[in-house]
A = this chain, B = another copy of it.
C-alpha cells in the first residue's frame, strides 16, 4: 500500500507523489478515470487488470481521502456510486502523458492510437484540452 505513516515526507515532491498515488493500482485507476471514461466500481473491476475487490476498495478510499478523486451517488441509479477526478487529480495529466510518451517509445507492444501519440508530440496543449473536455466531472 501507499505509505502514509512516514514522518519524513515533508520536503521531497517525488516522495509526496508516492504517498498520494505511488502504487501500480492507483496509477491504473487514474488512467481509467482520465483516459478510459470509466467511473463505476464494476468498471474498474472489469478493466481486465486483475485487481482484487478489497484492493480496489482500499485504493479508491485512499485516492478519495487524498483529494484525487471524488465519490458521489449516481443520480440516475441510487445503488451506484460515481467516481470522478478532482481538479487535483486532473492535473496529474501531464505526468500521465509523459509516462505514455515514454512507454510508446520504449515498448514495442504499446498500442497508443497513432493520432493520439502524434498530437501528444506535436500539439500537446491541444491534446490535453481535448482529453479534458471528455473527462466527466462531479456535477
Q: A residues near B, CB below 8 A?
A: 1-4, 6, 8-18, 20, 22-24, 27-28, 31, 35-38, 47-50, 67, 88, 91-92, 94-107, 109-113, 116, 130-131, 134
- Please report the C-alpha to C-alpha distance between residue A116 and residue B9 in the assembled complex, in whole angstroms: 11
Nearest residue (CB) in B for A87 is B106
Interfacial chain B residues near A13, Cβ < 8 Å: 99-100, 102-104, 107, 110, 112
Do residues A103 and B16 form an inter-chain contact, with CB atoms below 8 A? yes
Tally of this chain's copies: 2
Alpha-carbon separation in the docked complex, A134 to B107 (Å): 27
Q: List residues of chain B with CB within 8 A of the CB of A31.
A: 12, 14
Nearest-neighbour CB distance to chain B for A64, whole angstroms, equals 15
